[in-house]
Amino acid sequence: MAEPTYTIPAFRQRTAEGTEEYQRVSTNVGKGLTVIQEELHRMRIATKAKVDSLAIQREAKDMMAKRPVILDDIPKMPDFLIALRPHTVWEKTPVKLFCTVQGNPRPIVKWYKGGVPVDPLSAPGKYKIENKYGVHSLIISRCVVSDTAEYSAVATNPHGTASSKAMVAVKRPAGAGELCHLGLVPHLTEIHASKLEVTLLNHFPVSFGVEDGSISLVCSMVVVPDLPNVPPLAQWYRDDKLLKPSNLVQMSVGGGAARLTLPQLAKDDEGLYTLRIFTKDGTAEHSAYLFVSDAAPSKPGAPGAPMSVKAYDINSDYVLVAWKPPNTVNEAAITGYFVDRCEAGKDTWVQCNDSPVKVCKYPVHGLSVGHSYHFRVRAVNSAGISRPSRMSDKVTALDAAESERLQVIKIEGKYDIVIKDDDLEGYVTLPGEPTDVHASEVFKSYLVLSWKPPSPRGRAPLWYVIEKCLAGTGAWQRLNTAVKLCSPRYPVYDLQDEQMYQFRVYSVNMYGCSEASAPSEPVQKVDKDGVPSAPGKVAATRNTKSSVFVQWEAPKALKNLMGYYIDGRVAGSKDWFPCNHKPFKHNRFVVHGLIPGETYTFRVQAVNVFGLSDESQESSPIAVEPALATPSAPYGITLLDSDGSSMTVAWKSPKHCGGSKVNAYYIDKRNADTLMWKEVNLQAVTERICTIDSLTEGTFYEFKVQAANMAGVGVPSAPSAPMKCEAWTMEEPGPAYDLSFSEVRSHSLVLLWKAPIYTGAGAVTGYLVDMAKKGSSEFVTLNQEAVSHRYLQVSGLEEGESYVFRVRAANAKGVGKPSQVSEPVCARALPGTQEIVAGVDEETGDVFLSLEACEVCDTSKFVWSKNYKPIGDCPRVAVTTKGRTSRLTFTNPDKDDLGKYSVVVTDTDGVSSSHTLTEDALNTMLELSYAIRHPVVPLKHGLNYEILEKGHVRFWLQAVKLSPSVSYRFIVNDKEVTSGEGHKISHDVASGIIQMTVDLFTRANEGTYTVQITDGKAKTQSSLVLVGDVFKAALKEAEFQRKEHIRKQGPHFSEYLYFTVTEECTVMLACKVANVKKETTFHWYREDDEIVPETPPNVMSGACALPIPLFSRKDQGIFKATLSDDRGKDTSVFDISGQVFDDIINAIAKIAGSSASDLVLQCTPEGIRLQCYMNYYTEEMKTVWKHKESKIASSEKMRIGGTAEMAWMQICDPSDKEKGHYSIEISDGEKTHTRTFDLSGQAYTDAYEEYLRLK
């Protein structure tokens, strides 16, 4: 049957002109079409190669399906049905190596590059290993020159090993400016960007910026093929509006990333940003919110800047500027706005309004026709003026009606003729009157008049005159007397409140004025709408660990709603904070950037042109926790032990618990040769380890695990690598497992693990820990000596670098196989990380360790350990948790509690810390604990007493500090004494003194005195024992002071008799008197015999004295002085005897000894005399004569004597024996005064001759 003839649709048929144009284009681009055809030919060859590959895969699949079932039971070593083939590819293009292998049991295939195993985890996204229906493949997504190598697939089963090898060569095209001599370089310039395969990798997160700052949103991607001249087609959207590059929005795509940079942030930039990449399968998208907060205000308390400033209704000399109001949370309410304008290309801003406008619209009048302008707005409140908003886009002041007056007429479909309505009106001189005069904007502060231009208009330049009148009066007044108005818009300000007005307009040109327009409808300036009503009920629900989903009911009165502002505050706080900084249009919002585990409340305000509504009612408090979901998949399944009939496997917890505790695990198994999975456990496994029984020895098995929580069972893990069930017989231990990290900081971390299940030929004696940087296979052993405990403090890390670890257990036979490599860990502390604090409770005195976690969730638990062994239920400690803080309290702390304590917060990103409790620190805290539990009022001085002037006795003590609420009591001989007759009790808080004064102190007051003080919880007491001799002394002193007080009521001695010695060695008995008058008499007595001095005493001078010249032993006795008048009598007695006499003699000796002259030689008929002159000498003075350091006693040979003026020593009948050194020593009790004379030689000869002469 013949095919029907194809008929060209009418809309595809070409006209003669179209045919001519087609031929012209065909001729000019023929060469280009040839190039395209060649390119298509190359692409057909590449497509054919791919089809052949798929055919081979289908063929392999068919061959596998046609195998006789009976062969399944026949053991067979691996054999490659389809071997690897070599490939030559260009750089940055993918390559796929595949092969088909058979064997029984099913072989395990491993891939090698240059003899080194290929690890997909070493370069995420680069390698992909697949095994589908017996076809094993290795995909290298983006080849580089270094990928050039020999690749091999090694298949293994219990019966043998087979391998297949192939070479992959990666070539690089010639660089720019060089000729490419490789004729096989594909010309892919015609490939459209939408045909690329794009996979988004690292997405940009929810971001936070500040006004005038900058931020970049970056999303990395894998592009296949990655062609430098064909980048992916990327589009950026803000709130579903396509963004275009400008000086405020910079975009770039390339280098494996799409980047959006906002170099100068403003609140206008806040919103939901979406990256949309066009791929061959459709589009790949990612969205995240950007928050832009207010910069620091120009003055404290000033409002934030307005935003979204735009110009509308643009005319030749008039525009209407509108904007959105800022959020005011803790600032004063906004009272108005200032609008500024600036001509394009200039830097000078001019304020448009003299007084703040109260609504978010303002008509700007008086612009220059044809000039371009920018506008900005500033908010005003009682504290000051805000920073200016971002300036508006440029607008040009042009008459909008001009374009409407133009008509385009097409002639023969080819030519356009443009004519004006003026040309059709004919010759018109006077213009017609304007029409449709009305108020287009009505507010309480102003209104805007609008009208339609006249028709006919005329060709002469046109302007308008406006008149107004009170409605119904007909008294018209001209408005724009000084303004030549060219636009059909005019703002009116000076109208009276509550008055109705009408307006009419005239058209005017050079020929004259038109008739008046019809009057407008009566209108008055009033805010018709006002702010919206408050939003309805606000509800907050859990979203993520740092965000909350808030939704609310719309206001009943929307009133041209712009959007909403959402505010939040921490529970218990009075300060609100803004959750968004630009009005949000929908009634649901996700609040980001919250503190995990903290509790918040929220409120909402509606926004329109008049401002912000009243606040809604507050939401119920909600804790920031992830929404409830099933857990993610477990991972890291590893084999720990095998005995030939059972295998023990372990796995790692899901990375996301789903908002509730993981309480169950379910394990499935399958023979590596089959596709059917079988359940291992019907009852949930609660630990992350399980032994699978009833297995067949020599068979390879795969396992997968699912985790469950209260929301249900999560997705299964990826199947484990095939594991052979065979009995382990090695003597070394099996692998350690469950590697985890704690206390990750910038330069250190703690690695923990669990002991191997299989111990080998002996007990595990220690562990070796290996470390490598992420992506490297070069492991370094951290500890040369095996550690016996199952943790290791790792230090010396590079901040921001990622590391992996493995652990090897050792016993007496050697070191066992390494554990599974840990997950990469980055050496960087979590933001807000706190350390454990050791302290003492100020109220209870308990010694505790405390940690405030930087994040928690509902399922989080604080797990405390000592020396990295969980404490659990231990009577020595008690653990309490409140909010984000956990406290470990010691019940009875002692040396047994010393050690390293650590705490881990579960279901977080690794919140943990440790603290070593030392003996010194514990002793210090125990001392403080005792002081808190047994508080005492510290005393500066204990209880003491003093005797006061009148014989009163004051008992007092002084505390370091007293509070106004202090209480105390005095107890004397076990009986409380209160303030009353005979006792005065008081205290002074400032000085801390508590005192009791006893007015009459007698023998009855002997005993024990105690003060008991209570000041809050602190107590103390102080006692004073006043008995026996101590009491007698106090009583004597009190009686004396009492008598003294009585004595001093009349004339009395202020200083009793005492003696002084003058320079002439005259002894003076002196005293001082007080409270005397002229009638007061003074008398001296010795042994009751009155002494009448030559000079009568003058009591009014305040002092009296009795001289005793030439004092000697004869002056011993009792001297007395009396003082009396009509008020009383006082007596002072001075006993000159004993020690007093010796003191007087010493005082005389001191003066006399100081005045003593040198020894003088005097010859007499009796002998030779040595003499010492002084102010006064008496034999009672302690005087010693010496000859050659030997004391001389008075005798017939040596006579000693003296007069009042001197002391002498007589040598009778001198002989040569008396020659030598002589001295006299005068002692005053403190000092010895010595005078000497050398009686020898010529001095003795001369003296002896003189003696003989006188004799």
Residue 177 falls in which region: left (phi positive, over 0), alpha (psi -120 to 50) or beta: left
| Rounded Cα gap, residues 553 and 427, in angstroms | 62
Is residue 1096 packed enough to be buried (19+ CB in 10 Å), middle (13-18) or exposed (0-12)?
A: exposed
pLDDT of residue 177: 37
- % helix, strand, coil for the chain, step of 5: 15, 45, 45
Gyration radius from the chain CA atoms: 57
Residue 286's H or E segment, with its range, is strand 282-293
Task: Pick the closest to residue 1133 from 1075, 1182, 1078, 1071 (CA basis).
Answer: 1071
Instruction: Return the number of other C-beta atoms located less than 10 Å from residue 810's C-beta.
Output: 18
Looking at residue 397, its amino acid is: A
Could you tell me if 285 and 275 are in contact, meaning their C-beta atoms sit under 8 angstroms apart? yes
| Rounded Cα gap, residues 967 and 976, in angstroms | 14
Residue 899's H or E segment, with its range, is strand 899-905
The string of DSSP codes covering 558-616 is -SS--EEEEEEEETT----EES-SS-B-SSEEEE-SPPTT-EEEEEEEEEETTEE-PPP
The string of DSSP codes covering 434-460 is PEEEEEEEE-SS-EEEEEEPPSS--SS
- Taking 70 as the pLDDT cut, the residues of the chain under it are 1-73, 133, 174-192, 194, 400-428
pLDDT of residue 238: 93
| Rounded Cα gap, residues 717 and 95, in angstroms | 28
In this structure, the strands spanning 1198-1202 and 1206-1212 are: antiparallel
Could you tell me if 300 and 332 are in contact, meaning their C-beta atoms sit under 8 angstroms apart? no
pLDDT of residue 5: 37
Residue burial 953-976, b: 16+ Cβ < 10 Å; e: rest = bebbbbbeebeeebebbbebeeee
pLDDT of residue 36: 55
Dihedral angle over CA of 781, 783, 787, 793, nearest 10 = -100
**Residue 1042, φ and ψ in degrees, nearest 5:** -65, -45
601 Cβ partners below 8 Å, 6+ apart? 540, 568, 569, 571, 618, 619, 620, 621, 622
Beta bridge partners of 197: 224
pLDDT of residue 129: 87
| Rounded Cα gap, residues 116 and 673, in angstroms | 26
| Preceding omega of 491 cis (within 30 degrees of 0) | no
pLDDT of residue 706: 95
| Rounded Cα gap, residues 618 and 570, in angstroms | 12
**Residue 1170, φ and ψ in degrees, nearest 5:** -105, 130
Residue where the block lists tokens 């050690």 = 899
Beta bridge partners of 622: 600
1178 Cβ partners below 8 Å, 6+ apart? 1110, 1111, 1112, 1145, 1148, 1202, 1204
Could you tell me if 1070 and 1108 are in contact, meaning their C-beta atoms sit under 8 angstroms apart? no
Six-digit token string for 1003: 């023998």
Six-digit token string for 623: 């804790």
By three-state DSSP, how is residue 918 classified?
A: coil
Looking at residue 345, its amino acid is: G
| DSSP H helical ranges for 67-166 | none
Please give the C-alpha separations between residue 102 and each of 63, 181, 354, 962, 1150, in angstroms, as whole numbers: 10, 43, 90, 93, 132
280 Cβ partners below 8 Å, 6+ apart? 194, 195, 196, 197
Task: Pick the closest to residue 221 from 207, 232, 212 (CA basis).
Answer: 232
Q: Is the dihedral of CA 73, 77, 81, 85 positive or negative?
A: positive
Could you tell me if 464 and 485 are in contact, meaning their C-beta atoms sit under 8 angstroms apart? yes
In this structure, the strands spanning 395-396 and 372-381 are: antiparallel
Q: Is the pTM of this model over 0.75?
A: no
| Rounded Cα gap, residues 675 and 65, in angstroms | 14
**Residue 897, φ and ψ in degrees, nearest 5:** -90, 0
Six-digit token string for 455: 């028709």
pLDDT of residue 404: 60
Dihedral angle over CA of 477, 480, 482, 487, nearest 10 = -160
Overall residue count recorded for the chain in this entry: 1255
